[in-house]
Amino acid sequence: MDEQIIRKYREEEEVMIRLFVQWCRSRDIDPAALYTEAYPQQPANPILQAAMEHEDEEIDVSTDTMLEVLQLFGNDDLAFAVAEADHRGQ
């Protein structure tokens, strides 16, 4: 049962990261740079790197949706960086 919960969380985390990459790409923002802005002390995220290499069908992710998803996963620092980047882009 625990393995199922962990696997489900990882799958959902991967979806969140792929949405983040799509949000960044649609705004011409480097996802790795924005991630580093939010988490300067953390090493490169391998899931983020894999998502950046993967060519997904482009979808438009609204900033509000992106912020909600990030906050659901407790990525408040990244949500703040996304909000700041969105504000700079307007």
Per the CB < 8 A criterion, the answer to whether 81 and 37 are in contact is yes
pLDDT of residue 9: 82
Residue 26 has pLDDT above 80, yes or no: yes
pLDDT band at 55 (very low <50, low <70, confident <90, very high): confident
What pLDDT score does 54 carry? 83
Secondary structure (3-state) at 68 = helix
Domain ranges of the chain: 2-89
Tokens of 38: 């939010």
pLDDT bin (cut points 50, 70, 90) of residue 66 is: very high
d(Cα 31, Cα 15) in Å, to the nearest integer?
15
The whole-number pLDDT of residue 85 equals: 95
pLDDT at 6 over 90: no
